Amino acid sequence: MLQTRGIELKNLVKVFKKKKKDEVRAVDGVSFRIAEGELFGLLGPNGAGKTTLIKCLSTLLIPDDGTAIVGGCDVNADPLGVRRKLGVLTGGERSLYWKLTPVENLNYFAALYGVPRSETKERIHYLLELMDLFDKKHERVERLSSGMKQKLSIARTLVHDPPILLIDEPTLGLDPYFARFIRTFIKTELHEQLKKTILLTTHYMDEADELCERIAFMYNGKIKALDTPHLLKKRMPQEQVLEVKCVGDIDDQAFSSMHEYGTLNLSKQDGFTYVRMSTENPEDLLSGVVEIVRDRARVLSVSVTSPTLEDVFVHLTGASLKDDTTQQ
């Protein structure tokens, strides 16, 4: 039975043809269901296929195979129906008219999405209050701070009160305070209060862990695992992770040397480099790994911790993540 506010994908495929025979299977046979009101996370590193999947669901790209039903409408057969059910929020994209005010922008988009005129004024008032932009409602958008512009983009996405939201990398490039605001807003307002069905993509493991009820790990266009964060973490056979915290850069050669010891995950946060290796017996790895790190960087601490969602991702996908982005 199709849910009128849910999402269902069956064997969805999107291939980008490059030169001659080269092709990228950006979405490679993806199937899953998102229930009404669920906050669902699609998690994967750069190039996993997350944005391509969102574009297929929002009818910006036509899938090459498979089906996608969004809010009871098929993306191929009824793209207009899909768009009526959807709000799509992508970070960084310029989705507002900068010479117009917030009220003018929202009026324009309300008309575009067919919001009845009798409801528009009340709707805009509500959204400006919700996003804390009421005082700025007659200011030109170009004069608003970037945080305010982002808030107005969210208001714009919600103007036709869509039951389903697709949110692509909501906190990418945001400062830590605003990133926190956005995460709290998604969880408490959009999910708990307004009960929207939400598909969120991110490559921040902590973000997915904190927000999402269920998570799909995406890698090379495929779904490698799908479960609650709690049950995903239970899939690690090794119970422990050896973590070396250091200052300095780990070069490619050191990365491959350590990789020989087992599943490796390298990340940077707040100027520190973290080398994490999941293992049954951390003691066995200790001297070898620390020696390699010590040749390149200043070791600050060595500890044994329990697996994070990122460790599980590395374990289940076989990927060795080398993440240079700073986690907020």
Ligand X SMILES: Nc1ncnc2c1ncn2[C@@H]1O[C@H](COP(=O)(O)OP(=O)(O)OP(=O)(O)O)[C@@H](O)[C@H]1O
| Contact residues for Mg ion, defined by CB under 5 A | 50-51
**Which residue of 1, 21, 22, 46 would you call a contact of ligand X, by CB under 6 A?**
46
Residue 318 carries which DSSP code?
-
- Min separation Cβ 61 and ligand X, Å: 8
Q: What is the 3-state secondary structure (H, E, C) of 222-267?
A: EEEEEECHHHHHCCCCCCEEEEEEEECCCCHHHHHHHHCCCCEEEE
d(CA 86, CA 181): 23
Nearer to ligand X, 46 or 287 (CB): 46
Nearer to ligand X, 22 or 122 (CB): 22
171 binds ligand X (CB under 6 A): no
- Min separation Cβ 202 and ligand X, Å: 8
44 binds ligand X (CB under 6 A): yes
DSSP H helices in the chain:
50-57, 79-85, 102-112, 117-130, 146-158, 176-184, 205-211, 229-233, 252-259, 282-296, 309-317
Which of Mg ion, ligand X, none sits in contact with 312, Cβ below 5 to 8 A by type? none
**Which residue of 6, 41, 49, 282 would you call a contact of ligand X, by CB under 6 A?**
49
Residues binding ligand X: what is the number (CB under 6 A)?
12
Other CB atoms within 10 Å distance of the CB of residue 305: 12
For the CA atoms of the chain, what is the radius of gyration? 22
**Which residue of 12, 30, 50, 215 would you call a contact of ligand X, by CB under 6 A?**
50
Helix 282-296 with 252-259: angle, nearest 10 deg: 170
d(CA 234, CA 222): 21
63 binds ligand X (CB under 6 A): no
Which of Mg ion, ligand X, none sits in contact with 101, Cβ below 5 to 8 A by type? none
* Window 183 to 242, contacts with ligand X (CB under 6 A): 203
List, as one string, the DSSP characters of 179-216.
HHHHHHIIIIIIIIIT--EEEEEES-HHHHHHH-SEEE
91 binds ligand X (CB under 6 A): no
- Min separation Cβ 228 and ligand X, Å: 22
**Which residue of 7, 9, 12, 26 would you call a contact of ligand X, by CB under 6 A?**
26
279 within 8 A of 242, measured Cβ to Cβ: yes
Which of ligand X, Mg ion, none sits in contact with 24, Cβ below 5 to 8 A by type? ligand X
Stretch that binds ligand X, among 49-57, 184-192, 290-298, 304-312 (CB under 6 A): 49-57
Residue 39 phi, psi (nearest 5): -105, 105
**Which residue of 51, 76, 320, 325 would you call a contact of ligand X, by CB under 6 A?**
51
Residues that bind ligand X (CB under 6 A): 16, 24, 26, 44, 46-52, 203
